[in-house]
Chain A
Amino acid sequence: MVNENAGRILGLDYRKIANQTIPYVAAVGAAFLAAGIFIALMGFDALKAYNTILFTSFKTTNGMVQTLLKFVPLVLQALAFTVPFAAGKFNIGGEGQLIVGAIGATGAGIIFSDLPAVLLLPLVILSGALFGAIWAAIPAWLLYRFNMNEILTTVLMNFISFSLIDYVATKVWRDPAAGHPTTIPIGQGGQLPLLISSPPLHAGLLIAIFVAVVIYIYTDKTSAGYELIATGANPKASRVYGINVPRIFILSLVLGGVLAGLSGAIEVSGSHHRLIEGLQSNYLLLGLIIGLIAKGNNLAVPFVALFIAILEVGASAMQRTMMIPGEMVFIVEALILVFVLLSDVVRRR
C-alpha cells in the first residue's frame, strides 16, 4: 500500500530522477505560493518572509551550525518512522522513544559518571538506543500478542513518557539550581566531542550521517531489508514465500525505537549534557512529515531532513525578526506533504 515507487534510483537514470524530483519542486512551489498569499493577506511582506525562511541557514556560520544541529534529530526521527513504514507499520511513538532514550542515556551518564570517555560515551549512546528499543518493544509486543493497532499504542506511549521524564527530572536526579525540570549533568566522559568549538557543533552529526547510510544500505541493498519491503508491499504474498511476517513487524518497530532512542541519546550527550523536560521539541511531527514527504525512500530522507531543518531555522528567525508566528512554517511543511501526496494521484491518472 505504500511502497509502490520506493525509488531505487542510485544509478544514472536521469530521466527517472527528474520524474521523481519535478513533483517535489512543484509541491514546494505550490505550498510556498499558498502560504505567501496567506502571509500577504495578514499584512506582512511575503518576499521578505521567504527570504528569511530559506536563506537564514546560509547567511552566518551560526545559522549553518543551528541547521546541522536540527538535522541530527530530524533525520533519526524520520528514519524511526520510515523503517517500520517500509514494513507497513506506523511508528508514531518516536517522541516517547526519544524521551525514554534520553532518560536511559542520562541515567548511564550520571550513574557511571566517573568512567573514562572511552567507556562512558559508548555506554551513554548505547543505553539511549536500548531504552528507545524497549519503549518501542511494548507496542510491538501488544501488536504481536493482542493485535493492538500500533498507531494508537505508540502514541499512548508518548503520553506516558511525558510524565516519566517529568518524574526523572524532578524526583530522581533533579538539579535543584534549575527552575525548569532538569537533571544534574552527566559525567564529562559521556559528552560527545565537538567538531567545531564555536559555535559548538557536536559529533552527533557524524553518527546521524553514518546511521542514515547504514539504514539505506540495509533497507535497499540487503536481502533482510528486502524482506522488510516485501512485507510492507504485500504481507500475504510474503507469508506464502516463507517470510515470518509478525517477526518482521516487531523487528521493524523495535529498530525504529533504536533510531529514536539514539536521537534522544545524542540530544543529551551532544547538546544539553543533561536531561531537560521538553528536549524532544517537535521533532516527532517533523520526522513524520519528512518520512512521508520522502515517501519512505531512505535515500531521500536525509535530503528532505536537511531541507526541513533549513525551514525550521528560518522559521524561528522569521518569528524573531518579523513577528510572523513560526507555526506558519509548520503549515507550509504540512502543505508540502499534501501536495507531494497529491502529485502521486495526478501521475497515476
Chain B
Amino acid sequence: MDEFGGQFVSFAKLVMLALVPYVLASQGTMLSGRTGIFNVAQEGIMLVGASAGFLGAYYSGSLVVGILVAMVVGGLFGLALAYFTTTLKMDQFVIGLALFFVGLGLSTLLFKIAIGVTLQPPLIPTLDAVPVPGLSKIPVLGDILFNQNWLVYLTVLLSALLYYVMYQTSFGLALRAVGENPKAADSLGVNVTLMRYGAAIVGGMLMGVAGAYLPMVYTGTFTEGIVRGRGWLSIALAFFGGWSPHLIFLGSLFFAGVEVLALRVQVGGGVSIPYQFLLMLPYVATILVMMPALKWVRPPAFLGRNYDREKRTSV
C-alpha cells in the first residue's frame, strides 16, 4: 500500500474510534427527545459515567464491569430526569442543568474520595481491538471497520437497531407519536408516562457508557477535562441529525472526523495555523453545519415540554 493509503487507513480507524461517544450520547439524546424530554445534562452524565466507569473498572479489574457501572449511574440520572419532568412536571431545562451540576460535581468528588491526590494517576488498561474473523482480512475496509474494539461494533449495530425499531415497528411509531402529540398518543392507548421514563432511562444509560468509553480508550484514567464538550456537541448532533438515528450516525462520523483532523494537524505540524484555531475547529464547524441543516430538519413538536393529560393544552 502506498503512503497515502496507509495514512488514510490510520485516519479512518481513528475516526471510527472517536465515533463511539458521539453516537452513544446523541442517540441517547435523540431517544428521550423523541418522547418530548429534552435532556441537557449530557456533559454531566458523561463526566459521572467516565468517573464511575473508571472506578468500576479499576477496582474490579474488568472493563466490562466499569461499563456496566457507568450504565447504571447514567440510567439513574435518566430516571431522575424523567421523574422530575414527567411526574413532577418541572421545567426540563432547569432540571437538566441541575442534573448537569450534580454530575459534574459528583464525577470529581467520587474520583478524589476513592483515589485521592496522587502523583502517578492510576491507570486501567484500554479496550483491545477484537478483529472479526474473516471480515478483518478484507483489504483496507477490513482493517478500518472490523479491527476495532467491541464498543465500535456495538455502536454501529445499535444505530441500525434504533433505525429499525423507530421506523419499522409499531412500538417505534408509538414512541415517535409521544414526542409529536402526546394527547393523540394517549387517546390511542399509548402509555405516555412509561414511554417517557423508558426513553429517558435508556438515553441516560447510553450517555453513561459514552462517558466511560473515554478513559477506556484515550487516557486510561479520569481527568476533569475528559469530556471536553462532547456532551454538549451531542445535543448539536441530535438537532443536526434531525432526531433520526441514521442521520445522527452520519453526523457523528462528520464530528469524529473533524475531531481527529484537528488533532492530526496539530500533532503532525507542517501547517502554519496556530494550534488554538485547530482546537476551535469542532465547535466552529458545528455551528457552521447547523446553519443550513436547521432549514430542513424539524425537532419533535413536543420537545422540551411536559405532558399533563388533565390539561386541555399541555405546556
Interface residues of A (CB under 8 A from B): 1-2, 42, 90, 92, 142, 146-149, 151-153, 155-157, 159-160, 162-164, 166-167, 170-171, 285, 288-289, 292, 325, 327-328, 330-331, 333-335, 337-338, 341-342, 344-345
Chain B residues whose C-beta falls within 8 Å of the C-beta of A146 in the assembled complex: 290-291, 294-295
Nearest CB on B from A43, distance (A): 10
Interface mask (B88-114 → A, CB under 8 Å = 1, otherwise 0): 111101110110011011101100110
Q: What are 10 A-B pairs with beta-carbon distances under 8 A?
A: A152-B239, A157-B283, A159-B228, A170-B276, A171-B274, A330-B109, A334-B98, A341-B95, A344-B90, A345-B89
B286 touches A330 (CB 8 A): no
Cβ contacts under 8 Å, A162 to chain B: 279
B277 at the interface (CB under 8 A from A): yes
- Contact A325–B235 (Cβ < 8 Å): no
Q: How far is the CA of A155 from the CA of B93 in the complex (A)?
A: 14
Determine the distance from Cα of A338 to Cα of B84 in the docked complex, in whole angstroms.
10
B144 interface residue (CB < 8 Å to A)? no
Q: What residue of chain A has the Cβ atom nearest to residue B294's Cβ?
A: A146
Q: B280 at interface (Cβ–Cβ under 8 A)? A: yes
The answer to whether B232 touches A288, judged by C-beta atoms less than 8 angstroms apart, is: no
**B239, A149: Cβ atoms closer than 8 Å:** yes
Inter-chain contact A330/B105, CB cutoff 8 Å: yes
Identify A327's interface contact among B40, B112, B233, CB under 8 A.
Answer: B112
Interface residue B315 (Cβ < 8 Å from any Cβ of A): yes
Name the CB-closest residue of A to B228: A159
Cβ B232 vs Cβ A338 within 8 A: no
Q: Which residues of B contact A335 (CB under 8 A)?
A: 102
| Min distance, Cβ A246 to any Cβ of chain B, angstroms | 16
B241 to chain A, nearest CB (A): 13
Q: Which 3 A-B pairs have the closest CB atoms?
A: A167-B276, A334-B101, A330-B105
Q: Are B290 and A328 in contact (CB under 8 A)?
A: no
What is the number of residues of chain B that contact chain A, defined by CB distance less than 8 Å?
41
Report if B236 contacts A (CB, 8 A): yes
- A328 and B233 CA atoms in complex are apart in Å by 28
Interface residues of B in 274-301 (CB under 8 A from A): 274, 276-277, 279-280, 283-284, 286-287, 290-291, 294-295
A92–B286 CA distance with the chains assembled, in angstroms:
17
CA distance A338 to B96 in the complex (A): 11
**B6 in the interface (beta carbon within 8 A):** no
Q: Say whether B229 faces chain A, with CB atoms less than 8 Å apart.
A: yes
Contacting pair B40 A151 (CB below 8 A): yes
Min CB distance, B237 to chain A, in Å? 10
Tell which of B102, B228, B277, B283 has the most Cβ of chain A within 10 Å.
B283
B106 with A338: CB separation less than 8 A:
no
B98:A160 contact, CB within 8 angstroms: no
Residues of A within 8 Å of B235, CB to CB, are: 149, 151-152
**Given the complex, which residues of B lie within 8 Å of A147, measured CB to CB?**
294
Which of B28-55 touch A at CB < 8 Å? 40
CA–CA, A171 and B272, complex, Å: 13
CA distance A169 to B98 in the complex (A): 33
Question: CB < 8 Å: which of B113, B283, B315 contacts A325?
Answer: B113
Give chain B nearest CB distance to A215 CB in angstroms. 20
